[in-house]
Amino acid sequence: QTYAPKLVLLDITDISCIRDVAKEILNCYGCVDVLINNASMKVKGAVQSISLELDKKIMDANYFGPITLTKAILPNMISRRTGQIVLINSIQGKIGIPFRAAYAASKHAAVGFFDCLRAEMEEFDISVSTVNPTFICSYHRQPAPGNWEASIWK
């Protein structure tokens, strides 16, 4: 069956709203056949210059956001015994580079989670894939003085 597209806005860093958005999608379409986790945020800076607040925001976007959305969709896929889950990650999830500690840490965590999920979902015929590309040209804003959020790539 073919469905009309529906635009659903989601801030992947707002963990509290992800389950509601997933519920809205499932109520509208009944199922999700393919879930592609592609949202990401990164920041460049020395470890000592990046605040813990920013570390947490990066972890929310790159780890907790995708796993929260995946866990919200997963029961539907398991009950239907079909589905595909894809994580668009980064080579930095395998190899960290200087000045990208928060980003690399979040991507390492995501790889670990989705590797475990892949093994667990095999019995339900749900495919879990992780794509780890090298450099991706991302949208970037130049930071305003004192505005760490503006230094984030989205």
E strand or H helix at 126: strand 126-131
Euclidean distance between CA atoms 52 and 48, whole angstroms: 10
**Residue 103 designated active-site:** yes
Catalytic residue among 3, 29, 103, 139: 103
Q: What 8-state DSSP symbol labels residue 61? A: I
Expressed in angstroms, the distance from the first to the final Cα of the chain is 34
Closest CA to 28 of 9, 2, 3, 65: 3
Q: Are 134 and 91 contacting, i.e. CB atoms less than 8 angstroms apart?
A: yes
In single-letter form, the type of residue at position 53 comes to E
Active site residues: 103
